[in-house]
Amino acid sequence: MKTSMTGRLILPQQMRGSLYFIGRQPIFDRSLEVFAYELLFRSSQENTANVTDGDQATLTVLVDTFTKAGLNTLVGSKKAFINLTRNFLTGQYPISISPNRVVLEILEDTELDENLVEALKGLTSTGYQFAVDDVVSLDNWPVSLSDVVSYAKVDIAAVSENELPQIVAELKKKSVLLIAEKVETRESYQLCRQLGFDFFQGFFFCRPEIVSGRKFETSRMVVMQALASLQNPNLRLKDLEKTISMDATLGYSLLKLVNSGFYSLPVTITSIRHAISMIGTQQLRNWLSLFLISRVDDKPHELCNQGLLRAKAAESFAEGLNLTNPESYFLVGLFSILEALLDMPVNEIVTGLSLSSEISSALLEGKGSMGKILKCVEGIETGNWDSVGELGLGIEKISAIYMEAIRWTELLQKDLLPGSNTDQ
């Protein structure tokens, strides 16, 4: 990395194009609603940043977020947590972003001295908020740091269960909001909640809480059977009509949707077959997907977003690779969250559905081209770029497809979710 005579960062040639990777990890509040997203970026498809200069890595994040992807596309109305190096925080390089939408993270290897605190005070006076990342002890925490820091992110994976209550108690005395990070299990989440953490980050919500003897609600099973049948290239309309008609609520909701102002059809639709023919199988699939995941009240809404995003991204990657039956990849992406959504083992879910062997193998074992694409989508979520690189598509195309999947997910819920809820 180089700097100009004025101390400004010089953007390397390889960073001036449109290539970027995007990863988002949600931060949940105590109601399990998304409070913010931490933005995870890399300048290549390597799993590590592969950047020897942290300042350049920070610049990559800022350039990609605000000039390429767009903050609203990435986080919507939520806050964005972004890591900054000491040189940015102390003013050697400019922070050319609005303070209203971001929380700036102080990296774990940043020296927390009085010079840094004084620099943070100046930034705080202009509206910026700060979070200390990867807190594992308070040995090097300056007394005055609490005056300028709003959040402390505690790495619970690096703190013993015996030490965690003491760290929480000490941080609470400093009047900072506590974020538990690397919360990977429901048990860890429950412990952190009991200890008084304000926010939670990790993949605990993706892991099911298995309830013995739990069964599908009838409408959910019918929806999944209808979705499974839609990936059959030899599907007959009367068979799909028969499946949907098995559940009165589902059939009623479909007719109500088709006759709503969303479609503004010139005639009243009175049969399920007519409804299907009017909106088409693509719109039907989208609506069925929303119907399935929007009726789960005890799960974070972000899990539903994740299912839709995985579905669309998987399908689009399949299309980009010219694979046959891309709609089957959509189903794999959507069904990949059902274990957590329904609190049932995935093998029990798959057993009750007429899925192809390829879909079953992808969901149960991660095998085949469908399993490979699902791993790629999950890799983007977690920042595991090794699995992303194995897909075989160019960096630019992967980025564009995933960004479009994010936009599609937002638009789908905005346009169709009210219609799918009209029967409530």
Domain boundaries, the chain: 11-206, 218-420
The continuous run of DSSP H or E covering 315 comes out as helix 301-320
The rounded distance, in Å, linking the Cα atoms of 403 and 385 is: 16
CB 78, CB 33: distance < 8 Å = no
Assign domain 218-420 one CATH number from 3.40.50.300, 3.50.30.50, 1.10.3210.10, 3.90.1660.10.
1.10.3210.10
Residue 347: which residues within 8 A CB-CB, separation 6 or more?
364
Residue showing tokens 């062997």? 357
Structure tokens given for 361:
């193998």
> Strand, helix or coil at 200?
strand
pLDDT of residue 417: 52
The rounded distance, in Å, linking the Cα atoms of 310 and 304 is: 10
CB 253, CB 291: distance < 8 Å = yes
Handedness of CA 206, 208, 209, 214 (dihedral sign): positive
CATH 3.20.20.450 fits 11-206, yes or no: yes
The rounded distance, in Å, linking the Cα atoms of 2 and 12 is: 8
Tell me the pLDDT of the chain (424 aa) as tens digits.
Answer: 333 323 333 333 333 344 455 667 889 999 888 899 888 654 444 433 333 456 665 666 565 655 555 677 778 788 999 888 888 888 887 777 788 889 999 988 888 888 899 999 999 999 999 999 999 988 888 888 888 999 999 999 999 989 999 999 999 999 899 999 999 888 899 999 999 999 999 877 766 554 444 555 556 778 888 888 877 777 788 888 888 887 777 787 788 878 876 677 778 888 888 888 888 887 888 788 777 776 666 667 788 788 889 999 999 999 999 998 888 898 899 888 888 877 778 888 787 776 788 989 999 999 999 999 999 888 888 777 666 777 778 777 888 888 899 888 888 777 655 443 433 3
Residue 84: strand pairing partners: 106
Closest CA to 197 of 172, 174, 173: 172
Closest CA to 155 of 172, 184, 180: 180
Pairing of strands 9-10, 177-181: unpaired
**DSSP of 4-42:** -TTSPEEPPGGGSSS----EEEEEE-TTS-EEEEEEE--
pLDDT of residue 206: 67
Rounded to 5°, the CA angle 39-207-153 comes to: 40
Structure tokens given for 85:
């190096």
Closest CA to 74 of 128, 26, 30: 26
Beta carbons within 10 angstroms of residue 5's beta carbon: 5
The rounded distance, in Å, linking the Cα atoms of 77 and 367 is: 37
Distance (Å) of CA 327 to CA 279, 323, 339, 401: 17, 10, 20, 16
Q: Name the CA dihedral angle for 176, 177, 182, 183, rounded to a multiple of 10 degrees.
A: 140
> Strand, helix or coil at 209?
coil
Q: Identify residue 95 by its one-letter amino acid code.
A: I
pLDDT of residue 211: 46
pLDDT of residue 315: 93
The rounded distance, in Å, linking the Cα atoms of 315 and 231 is: 12
pLDDT of residue 227: 82
Characterize 95-123 residue by residue with b for buried, 16 or more Cβ atoms within 10 angstroms of its Cβ, and e for exposed.
Answer: bebeeeebbbbbbeebebeeebbebbeeb
Structure tokens given for 165:
């209550």
Residue 25: strand pairing partners: 38
Structure tokens given for 168:
């929480």
Model confidence, pTM: 0.67
